[in-house]
Structure 1
Amino acid sequence: MDGETVQLSNLRGQRVMLNFWASWCPPWSAEMPDMEKFYQNKDVKILAVNLTQTESGIQDVRDFVKEFDLSFPILLDQESNVANTYQIQPIPTSYMIDSEGVISFKTLGALNYDLMVQEFEKMQ
């Protein structure tokens, strides 16, 4: 949201949660407090990719981030290029990517904190 471009390959050597979401999606709203807690409590990088074309406006995204006081990076996929590459359907969809850059877990739908931690601890 700050205009910076992020490449997943630059995070090699770190464990990453890659999440695709939209502010209008009720399951994503439900997992937000758990995702923030996960980010605060574990040595994990979270990349939350907003499917911006599905939003009524960028202000909806900003308001959502402010409402939930999110501190992890929020990325904007303004033309759905990333979502198309990952063939995202439905949302939310999350990937856990280990330090070698290998997808170790994928889920369609919301995650809770315990499952986030469980999958995180399986990664190297």
Structure 2
Amino acid sequence: MQTLNGEKARLSNYRGQRVMVNFWATWCPPCRAEMPDMEKFHQDKEVVILAVNLTQTESGIMGVKDFVKEFNLTFPILLDEEIKVATNYQIRPIPSSFMIDSNGVIQFKSFGPLTSDMMVEEFEKMQ
């Protein structure tokens, strides 16, 4: 997928690292509530966060950029412009998150918002 910054990103590029993949949209109240905790988690732990925006559901890319600025997000925002990745992961409710260990294996799934404490707890269980 392409990032909001125009770069290309693949999950396989992060093999050997612990990764949180999060599916979200700007119009989703639980997603908005979760973002400050995700940023704190990103700042406090050595975790890669890939925040996959369901871009096709947005009114425009500027709204996504404004959201990132509003929440001071420093992790990569990936654009699922045709909802292909969300379909592959069988995403229904958002936010949905996956914790993937350094071997590329999904260790935890969450269908709904996570708190910072929940993120840290699941992260620390992984290798």
Amino acid at match of 2:33: A
Aligned-pair CA distance for 1:38:
0.2
Return the alpha-carbon distance in structure 1 between the equivalents of residues 33 and 84 of structure 2.
26
Q: Residues 32-72 of structure 1: CA distance to partner in whole angstroms, max 9, x if unpaired?
A: 11100000000000000000000011111011000001000
- Give the letter aligned to residue 28 of structure 2: C
Q: Pick the aligned partner of 2:56 from 53, 58, 79.
A: 53
Aligned equivalent of 1:3: 6
Q: Percent identity?
A: 71
Distance 2:125 2:45 in 1: 13
**How well do the aligned residues superpose, as a CA RMSD in angstroms?**
0.5
- 1:92 paired with 2:120, answer no
Aligned residues: 124
Unpaired runs of 5+ residues, structure 1, are: none
1:7 Cα offset (Å): 0.7
Normalised by the length of structure 2, the TM-score is 0.96
The match for 1:35 among 38, 47, 50 is 38
Which ranges of 4 or more aligned residues in structure 1 deviate by more than 3 Å?
A: none
Q: CA deviation at 1:2?
A: 1.3
The match for 1:17 among 15, 20, 23 is 20
